[in-house]
Amino acid sequence: MVAIVEINIESLVKNWWAVALRGAAALIFGILIALWPNIGLTALVLLFGSFAIVAGVFNVIAAVGRRRGERRWWALLLEGLVSVAVGAVTLIMPELTALALAYVIAAWGILTGIFEIAAAIMLRRQIRGEWWLALAGVLSVAFGAVLAIWPGVGALALVLWISAYAIVLGILLIALGFKLRRLRFELPDAVVLHA
Q: What is the per-residue pLDDT for 16?
A: 85
Q: What is the per-residue pLDDT for 85?
A: 92
Q: What is the per-residue pLDDT for 160?
A: 81
**Distance of alpha carbon 156 from alpha carbon 3, whole angstroms:** 40
Q: Which amino acid is at 154?
A: G
Which residues of the chain are modeled with pLDDT < 70?
Answer: 1-8, 38-42, 66-72, 95-98, 129-130, 152-156, 187-195
**Distance of alpha carbon 3 from alpha carbon 149, whole angstroms:** 29
66-104, pLDDT tens digit by residue?
666 566 677 778 888 999 998 898 888 876 656 777 788
List CB contacts of 76: < 8 A, sequence separation 6 or more: 59, 62, 63, 66, 115, 119
Residue 58: which region, alpha, beta or left (left: phi > 0; alpha: psi -120 to 50)?
alpha
**Distance of alpha carbon 17 from alpha carbon 101, whole angstroms:** 30
SS3 for 70-84, per residue? CCCCHHHHHHHHHHH
Q: What is the per-residue pLDDT for 10?
A: 74
With CA atoms as reference, report the closest residue to 166 among 75, 77, 4, 39.
39
Q: Which domains does the chain have, with CATH numbers?
A: 2-186 (1.25.40)
* Maximal C-alpha separation, the chain: 54
Q: What is the per-residue pLDDT for 182?
A: 86
- Is the pTM of the predicted complex or chain greater than 0.95? no
Q: What is the per-residue pLDDT for 67?
A: 66
Q: What is the per-residue pLDDT for 106?
A: 86
Indicate the DSSP class of residue 27: H
Q: Which amino acid is at 123?
A: L
**Distance of alpha carbon 181 from alpha carbon 79, whole angstroms:** 22
Helices (H), 124-154: 131-149
